[in-house]
Amino acid sequence: MAEAVLTRETAFAPDEVDQMVRDNMRLVHYVALQYQHKAAALGIDYDELVSAGMIGLWEGLMRYDPTRAKWTTCAVIHIKGRIRRLIRTTKRQNRIATVPLEHQVAADEDSGNALKVYDILPSRDDVTTVEIRDWMDKLPARERHVVSRYMDGYKQHEIGDEMGVSQAHVSRILRRTVQRYFEA
């Protein structure tokens, strides 16, 4: 049985692709330099930017359609897209603080034993149905509707369609509401 090989038809022949990558490496460096300052603030090395840019260059080669745009326009769009994606994911990872559950955060005043993160985290048993109902009753009608639908298993885009708003807006409402719950 012959293996099926998936190939994408491109505007360039396979031997031209290697040459195009070599010929456009300076373009990748040029675009990477535009993002170097922003990336350095996040701890991203210049080499990582270039690597992401090279992936973008290759994507541009694979998706280039000469009837739609010039080659350099397509290449720059894909290079910038890959570099921006790297920056976005790094920002997202930097925002998420990770602490091991066994990390000691304090010492118990009475016994002198070490308190770990998992000792002070609330569990599902700590939140009763009555507390949630009381909290839900205090919410404005719109937020109450969004939270109750979400808790019933509706997806954010379904709630948004029902209310006539975008999924992103529903996400913001949920985030604000949950934030207020934990602040209270």
Looking at 3.20.20.70, 1.10.760.10, 1.10.10.10, 3.40.190.10, the CATH number of the domain 123-183 comes to: 1.10.10.10
133-169: per-residue pLDDT in tens? Answer: 777 888 889 998 988 888 888 888 899 999 999 999 9
58-91: per-residue pLDDT in tens? Answer: 999 888 888 888 989 999 999 999 999 999 988 8
Pick 24 or 114 by higher pLDDT.
24
**14-95 has which fold?**
Rna Polymerase Sigma Factor; Chain: A (1.10.1740)
**Do the domains 14-95 and 123-183 sit in the same CATH topology, yes or no?**
no
Q: Where are the domains of the chain?
A: 14-95, 123-183
Please provide the DSSP assignment of 112-175 as one string: -PEEEHHHHS--GGGS-HHHHHHHHHHS-HHHHHHHHHHHTT--HHHHHHHHTS-HHHHHHHHH
